[in-house]
Amino acid sequence: MTEEYLTVSHLSVAMTTKEDSKTPTVGKKWWAIDEFYLQMVVVVIGVVGTAGNALILYAMVVCKQHKKHVLIVNQNALDLFSSFFLVVSFSVKLCNIQLVGALGYWLCIAFISEIFVWCCLTGSVVNLAIITIDRYLKVVHHIWSKRRIRSWVIKSAMAFAWLVGIVTNTVIVLETSGVIDGECYTWVLFKSHVERTLCMMWYVMSSYIIILVIFVYCYGQILIVVRRQARVMSSHRAAGSSTCQTQSHQIQTNVTKTMVFISAFYAVAWLPVTLYDVFIMVNPNLTYMSSYWYASVFVVFLYTSANPFIYATKFKPVRRILIDMIPCKKTTVQPTASPRSGVRTGVPKRY
């Protein structure tokens, strides 16, 4: 069964190559140019993501918020490494290195497969779910979380996010990747169609559907609790009801905006990748070396690049550090004359 499926896959690749050789040369050149520019765009978004996450990590360390918000730091670190490895992997792809022998095989596995990218990206998704659950427990089950959630629990959850990403992606890449006729095929060389379908279904469920369910449920429960608390506060403060109602309305609005924005942004950004996984599950001839896949990866890393600013810049000390790093005009005042003279010898001057 294994040999038969691999033979069919190899024949389908060979047939595709033959069909491509019959197509006009101009069309092939334009297609190659499109893929080249898409890969360049992915490299650019990787550089932006690396710089953005590194900047936020630096700001959090400087303002000493990294010890208070370790899950946010872990999120930024995972996004930083995934963006960095994205730049490395796609730079290797752009070099178009000939894959021959053992060196070619390990270049395929280590870089062209994007294994390091997806190890960190999977960990980032898991850590994002952990952050959401942590906020849910602190708001909805405040007393229980204060008693049960210790420092070692948070550190274990952080390690779990890294471990899940590394183990799952490494096992799958090693089992489903290889070099055929000098071409690198990753994530597609399954032993059977059933195994392929189960793997893709697991990816779609774990990285998209379950995460969205966690977002909607946790933020929904947080919103319910906030509304209940606002109602209680307004009933106990009749004298200052207008101020209380304004504050409660502000809290509800902020929670609602966060819930809708995070859920909608994640759903939109990860939808192209999820749909491509579904197409891979249905059509065995598809690979992860196409312009559609590169465009999907670009959209995912738009989210990854924006992620640190969504979470970290909500902290005032971090915002202050980032604002101070922006070069701007400053106002200086020259020394004035002695008070006894009553005459000013200098006026405020803008530079």
Domain coverage including residue 194:
20-327
Is 25 domain-assigned?
yes
pLDDT digits (tens, 9 = 90+) for 305-340: 887 677 666 666 666 776 777 665 444 445 554 444
* Average pLDDT value over all residues in the chain: 79
pLDDT tens digits, one per residue of 159-208: 999 999 999 999 999 999 999 988 899 988 988 888 988 999 999 999 99
Domain-located, residue 321: yes
In a domain, 8, yes or no: no
332 in a domain, yes or no? no
- How big is the CA angle at 283 (ends 282 and 286), to the nearest 5 degrees? 135
| Higher local confidence (pLDDT), 224 or 317 | 224
Is residue 62 one of the residues assigned to a domain? yes
- Domain assignment present for residue 40? The answer is yes
Res 296 pLDDT > 80: yes
Domain count for the chain? 1
Question: Up-side HSE of residue 6: CA atoms within 13 Å toward CB?
Answer: 13
What is d(CA 128, CA 130) in angstroms, rounded to the nearest whole number? 5
20-61 pLDDT per residue, tens = 433 333 344 444 557 888 899 999 999 999 998 998 888 888
Residues in the chain: 351
Residue 186 lies in a domain: yes
Residue with tokens 């204060």, as numbered in its chain: 146
Q: What pLDDT score was predicted for residue 18?
A: 38
Q: How far is CA 134 from CA 98, 103, 148, 150, in A?
A: 47, 44, 12, 12
User: In this structure, what CATH number is given to the domain that contains residue 108?
Assistant: 1.20.1070.10
Three-state DSSP class for residue 97:
coil
Q: Is 308 exposed, middle or buried (0-12, 13-18, 19+ CB in 10 A)?
A: buried
231 in any annotated domain: yes
Tokens 């060196």 belong to residue: 103
More confident call, 286 vs 29: 286
CA gap 349, 337 in Å, rounded:
16
DSSP letters for 276-293: HHHHHHH-TT--S-SHHH
